[in-house]
Structure formats: structure tokens, C-alpha cells
Amino acid sequence: MRVLFVCLGNICRSPTAHGVFVSRLQQRGLEGRVEVDSAGTSNWHIGKPPDPRTVAVAAARGVDLSPLRARQVSAGDFDRFDYILAMDQHNLADLQALAPVDYRGHLGLLLAFDSQASLLEVPDPYYGGEEGFEQVVSLIEAASDALLDQIAARLPPEAG
């Protein structure tokens, strides 16, 4: 099973989702059974580490984003990923324009997995203050738990 998180720059929201989801998989002993990646719809920050404000709020919640580097989403991602999850409607529209007509995976919004979520989109925190970054990680943590419940239920039984 492979999961790709996508935002605009791949330096704030999708790296947060990437790191939070890997950490949740580790907590449930499922790392190695689900491959996780993140990407941006833009080419603006390719090769760059996540924004230092993003790294700081994630670190305060025990998630290390420092090894991640930004990349741009490509059409080939639709051949690899079973779930491609956008942070906002603009990201989703860009992905829908790139998706092959016969894509069989799940392309949608991350927050749609959280039935309790107050928002459907993860707001872009880039030009705002510290509280925006806190809101991003909180929204993503809640939705990641709901997403992981669904994915864990779909994993085949372990061999042996």
C-alpha cells in the first residue's frame, strides 16, 4: 500500500502529513507495510527541506521532518500510489487535471477522512503566523488517525 500527500509547495502541509503518518504507522507497528511520500503541485521549492516553522511545530509533537526534501508531483505518481491525498481544493483540482482517466486509486482531500473535522481543507499557513502552523498539525493528526484506520483495515494479513 502506498500513500502520497500533496500540497502546493511540499514544504509545510504535505511534509507534516508525511511525517505524522509515518509516526502513526510506527506506533501501530505498520511501518514497512505502507509506503509514504509527499510532493508539491508547484516546482517552487524542489530539493528544499520543510519550512523551519513546520519543522518546529512537528518536532514539538515528536515528529522529525528534517530529513524530508521537496519534490514536485508527476503523472508517474498515479502509477505508484493507492491513495493521493490533497490538502486543499486547489491542489485537488491540479491533481485531477494530471490524473490518467483510468486511475484506480483514491484521489481526494485528506480532511475528508475525518468526520469530526471542522474544515475540509488544510489552510495554507505560509504567509500567516505561528497559530496557523499549529492548526495545520492538529487537523492533520486527527485526519491521519482516521485514514490509518481505513488503510489498516485494507492491509492483507501478514504472511507467516
Residue list 42-61, contact with ligand 4NP (CB under 6 A):
44
Catalytic residue among 2, 12, 13, 149: 13
Answer yes or no: 12 catalytic: no
Among 3, 11, 39, 65, binds ligand 4NP (CB under 6 A): 11
| 18 makes contact with ligand 4NP (CB under 6 A) | no
The torsion angles phi and psi of 64, rounded to 5 degrees, stand at -95, 110
| 12 makes contact with ligand 4NP (CB under 6 A) | yes
Which burial class, exposed, middle or buried, applies to 40 when counting CB atoms under 10 A from its CB (0-12, 13-18, 19+)? Answer: buried
SS3 per residue for 46-80: CCCCCCHHHHHHHHHCCCCCCCCCCCECCCCHHHH
| 10 makes contact with ligand 4NP (CB under 6 A) | yes
* Distance of alpha carbon 150 from alpha carbon 70, whole angstroms: 27
Answer yes or no: 149 catalytic: no
Name, in order, each residue with C-beta under 8 angstroms of 138's C-beta and a sequence gap of 6 or more: none
Answer yes or no: 13 catalytic: yes
| 124 makes contact with ligand 4NP (CB under 6 A) | yes
Q: Which chain residues interact with ligand 4NP by CB under 6 A?
A: 7-13, 44, 124, 126
- Give the active site residues: 7, 13, 124
